[in-house]
Structure 1
Amino acid sequence: MSRIGKKPVELVKGVSATLSGQTLEVKGPKGTRTFTAPDDVTLILEEGSVTVKPRGLSKRARSMWGMSRSMVANLVTGVSTGFKKELEIQGVGYRAAAQGTGLKLSLGYSHDVNFVPPADVAVTAPKQSEIVVEGIDAQKVGQVAANIREWKKPEPYKGKGIRYKGEYVFRKEGKKK
């Protein structure tokens, strides 16, 4: 039995949902998102909440039950408050600057890196050493943050590179004399 799937998803103030067949459309102050549930689960729209129920007791139905409930919860969170990932840049001469809708990164290469995010994801640089990725889709926000981090992962000797805020980088000792 799915412990996550049992809980109904409460629709917060300012968020409305409509259900047509297996497709759930959620509207909120930040935008509109849709989710089409697999055939193994049933979506039930009650007043102020969405409940997910499995169709049968097969292993696939039970796994889709918890996953579908998590997806519906992410829809509600995305259209109401949105998702946010913060990145830190460490290293001498490494910096980021917002350039239009994109980002200009100086990461020690012979050229600057111009990063253009998808249209529904906002990337800002409040400081030269910080990058903030925001949007209503959790998967896209995480993927854009991972793509930015991929340009210069933190290295283990000096810790230089792009890391998630609060990420611990295991440091190695340099060579001995």
Structure 2
Amino acid sequence: MSRIGKKPVELPSGVSASVSGQTIEVKGPKGTQSFTATDDVTLKVEENAISVEPRGKSKRARQQWGMSRTVVANLVHGVQNTFKKELEIQGVGYRAQLAGKVLKLNLGLSHDVDFQIPDGITITCPKPTEIIIEGHDIQQVGQVAANIRDWRRPEPYKGKGIRYKGEYIFQKEGKKK
């Protein structure tokens, strides 16, 4: 039994949900989002809650049960609030700045990196070494953060690169003479 899947997702005031087939659409003050579940689960909207139940006792149905419930909970949270990821840039001369819908990154490469900001995502740079990514879709926010981080991952000897805020990088010891 999925402990997460058993709990219904509460709908706060100002948020409504409707189910048509396997697709659930959630509307709130920040917009509308939808999710299409697999045929292994059943979605039901009751009064102020959304419940997810498995169709059968197969392993796949139980896997999809908890995952689908979590995705629906993220939809409900996303139409009411925003999701946020914070990145830190460490390294001499490494910095970021915004230029319209483009994030310019100086990462010690032979060229500057121009990262196009996708629709639905807002990026701010309060400091040249900080990047804050916000949006209503948790998957898109995480993917954009991962794409930015991939330009210069933190290296284990000096720790230079782009890391998530609060991320610990294990420092390796250098070569001995």
Q: 1:31 maps to what in 2?
A: 31
Contact 1:125/1:132 (8 A) holds in 2: yes
Instruction: Tell me how far apart the structure 2 counterparts of residues 33 and 74 of structure 1 sit (CA, whole Å).
Output: 10
Q: 2:161 maps to what in 1?
A: 161
Counterpart mapping for 1:7-46 below 5 A: 7-46=7-46
Instruction: Tell me how far apart the structure 1 counterparts of residues 13 and 112 of structure 2 sit (CA, whole Å).
Output: 44
Instruction: Tell me how far apart the structure 2 counterparts of residues 128 and 56 of structure 1 sit (CA, whole Å).
Output: 53
Letter in 2 for 1:66: G
Instruction: Tell me how far apart the structure 2 counterparts of residues 62 and 50 of structure 1 sit (CA, whole Å).
Output: 17
Q: Determine if the alignment matches structure 1 residue 92 to structure 2 residue 99.
A: no
| Ranges in structure 1 where 5+ consecutive residues have no aligned partner | none
Contact 1:103/1:116 (8 A) holds in 2: yes
| Ranges in structure 2 where 5+ consecutive residues have no aligned partner | none
Q: Percent same amino acid among aligned pairs? A: 71
1:117 deviates by: 2.4
Q: 1:65 maps to what in 2?
A: 65
Runs of 4+ residues deviating >6 angstroms: none
TM-score normalised to structure 1 length? 0.96
Three-state SS of the structure 2 residue aligned to 1:12 is coil
TM-score normalised to structure 2 length? 0.96
Instruction: Tell me how far apart the structure 2 counterparts of residues 13 and 146 of structure 1 sit (CA, whole Å).
Output: 33
1:88 deviates by: 0.1
1:158 deviates by: 1.1
Instruction: Tell me how far apart the structure 1 counterparts of residues 23 and 92 of structure 2 sit (CA, whole Å).
Output: 50
1:102 deviates by: 2.0
Tell me how large the CA RMSD over aligned residues is: 1.1
> Measured at CA, do residues 102 and 13 of structure 1 come closer, stay the same or move farther in structure 2, by a change above 3 Å?
farther
Matched positions, count: 177
Contact 1:152/1:161 (8 A) holds in 2: yes
Three-state SS of the structure 2 residue aligned to 1:80 is coil
Three-state SS of the structure 2 residue aligned to 1:5 is helix
Contact 1:102/1:123 (8 A) holds in 2: no
Q: 1:5 maps to what in 2?
A: 5
Three-state SS of the structure 1 residue aligned to 2:143 is helix
